[in-house]
Structure 1
Amino acid sequence: MADKKPIDESHHVTRRKGGGILRREVWVDEDGNVTRYNLAYINRELYQSDNGRVVGYDNAHGYHHRHYFGTIEPVEFVSFEGVEEQFARDWIALRSQA
């Protein structure tokens, strides 16, 4: 059975809060376990390369990694919830700098 994508969300961030888009995609197996994910903050005013992805986390290409202004680095994966928390911390830190 193929994985399902129950979460496919895009939220537009107001200019007052930094602008851009928060993107969240999650795929799960038949038991509800997360098999793939893509979390991204996209803002072409801050970063034009990588389709505007300022910061993001995903597990494409066979490993868990973080995108940050074009730099890609592996991340230690403990749980999807932990990755979501780290993404939120990164985005909040960026927002507070704006």
Structure 2
Amino acid sequence: MSGAVSERRPRRRFVHAVGYGPATYLRVSRFQRAVALAPRVGGPAALAAAAGYADQAHLGRDCRALTGLTPRHFFRALSTVDVAVRDRLRSA
């Protein structure tokens, strides 16, 4: 084989560099986008669309999976934390 690369090699390199797979990276990245947009976008459906979710339920599932909270509780709590904490959540 002259320079052939298996299908798994790029994924393994990605996991080594980032710490988890591409699908999880995209999921976390999309949720971080929602966190960043939340103060400027009104309503969960508009937030889901602006952040790149398929629908509001998709945002809800990811929010519960990644934070352990419903979007209502997570984003309400987010609006009451100070800017430093919010910025830390965005970069997590």
TM-score norm. by structure 1 comes to 0.27
- The structure that has the greater radius of gyration is 2
Which structure ranks higher in relative contact order (CA pairs < 8 Å, sequence separation ≥ 6)? 2
Whose strand proportion is higher, 1 or 2?
Answer: 1
TM-score norm. by structure 2 comes to 0.28
